[in-house]
Structure 1
Amino acid sequence: MKLAIITGLSCSGKSVALHTLEDEGYYCIDNLPVFLLPALAGELVKRHDKRFQLVAISIDSRNTPTEFESISTLLQPLKAEKIRFEVIFLEAQDETLIKRFSETRRRHPLTGGARPLAEAISYERELMAPFLNVADIRIDTSQTTLHELRHLIRSRITERLDTKISLLVQSFGFKQGVPRDADFVYDARCLPNPHWQPALRQLTGKDEAVQAFLGASNDVKHYQADLAQFLEQWIPRFETEGRSYLTIAIGCTGGQHRSVYLVEQLAIHFRAHGRQIQTRHRDLPREEKAPN
């Protein structure tokens, strides 16, 4: 049995993630009390039922602090039974969550009594911290569209090869903030900026003219080579430690030229070396709204 445990902050996209896994053939259970997790997983394994070969469970903040604090202990029986499981933690910035609650007119599950929304979000973040500490995948949906979140869930959970670490390399613009879910963050603002070339300003790092401009720079070549060498050296160490996922973020000023180019080049490099890699360009134009 393969078990995906979806958890995180309210309005961060947990329902979207669970529905995506359901579409991929997972048997889904919503809002499971956390103390039932070991018993449920053990019972499903004993049944040897094909329906339960792929199972996804969502757990929200409506549990006691003591139950959340004991999550590491609650996961031990799953490890003892050699159940393949992954904890996926979804979150977003406070201002994003407040905006989503306002747009959807949903009530936060922790706003009982006189607690305002901002305090409820802060309390929930504190309450869910033990889950974040054991998460295999951390996804910040602050600037993620519905389509992108569905794609991330499919590529990082349902399509991943179990034998190798899964790499997500994403570009971003420092103007829009650093991704909260990155394991490594690299700053490419020291490289030549195509923005100052009028003919390249409206293009992106995916366009041939921008690629030619950046590819002709020795600084860009050295930066790219050093970055690839560093990752080649240390990715195997993460695999040795049992990591299944690694998120690498490369930023430039606006997330349009330099970071996009480097992400595309790294993807070509690692795919040629047999690595499983997904790319994401966070700050390039998108059409869909963010997940609720």
Structure 2
Amino acid sequence: MLLVTGLSGAGKTTALQVLEDLGWEAIDNFPVRLLKRLVAKPDRQQGMLAIGFDSRTRGFVPAEIIDLVKDLAQRDDLAISTLFIDCNGGELERRYNETRRRHPMAQERPLQEGIKAERELLDPLRRWADMIVDTSELSSNQLQQHIRDLFGDTGAQPMTLTVSSFGFARGMPPLADLVFDMRFLDNPHWVPGLRELTGMDAPVGEHIEKDAGFKPAFEQIHDLLLTLLPLYEAQGKSYVHVAFGCTGGRHRSVFTAERMAESLRESGFSPTVRHRNLGSRATDEIEGQKR
């Protein structure tokens, strides 16, 4: 169990969201007085649990919380740590002024006084916490990465990679992160004997590979993906969708997506391949004029 607390606006919610992505069960603003009841039965404790609480939480009395946790820490079946998210007053003022949110302890007093009062209230928890993360100089992305560095080996899931094909004539994929247009390649639709085939068929693949533009473009896209995908993963992106498009979504995009997925597997990735328009009917109206 990880108890997560800290100053309002310092980043507690962001930390809990990252922990949830890493496989923790996360509960925010939990009434701490109910903590014993939550962990009353040892057989219910499966996996990792992150509990978020702060000055807004009902029954928030730091000294009582510390005594409660010290008591729970005596149990052999329960491992408890505490993470305190801190931030300097000037940065907290900037954040609250930027978001125009009201500080929970500045309802009828200036913001600076509310921050000061909360800091004094939380000081016993800060001094007692096992870990302190100061977010004064951290962006939201940097805080997320820091939490992943601290807890990422306790259940992090690998990034889910999807490689797909689609036809521009039937609309763009709405959730693609990276889209590559393969319409610069010669269209097999206009080649006798290839129209009714798809990019899954060898004759279509052979035709596409003969195009002088295919190899250099494919290699450059592949190199780009090998650069970008680890960076996306390092930023904690859970899902990445790489889409290849052609006019009808049956030939050039399908072949390229299959070839790229194969190359990415050889590079250590595990992409899922989807072909949105593979089963669509081949028509001249969709493909447009022959060039």
TM-score by length of 2: 0.49
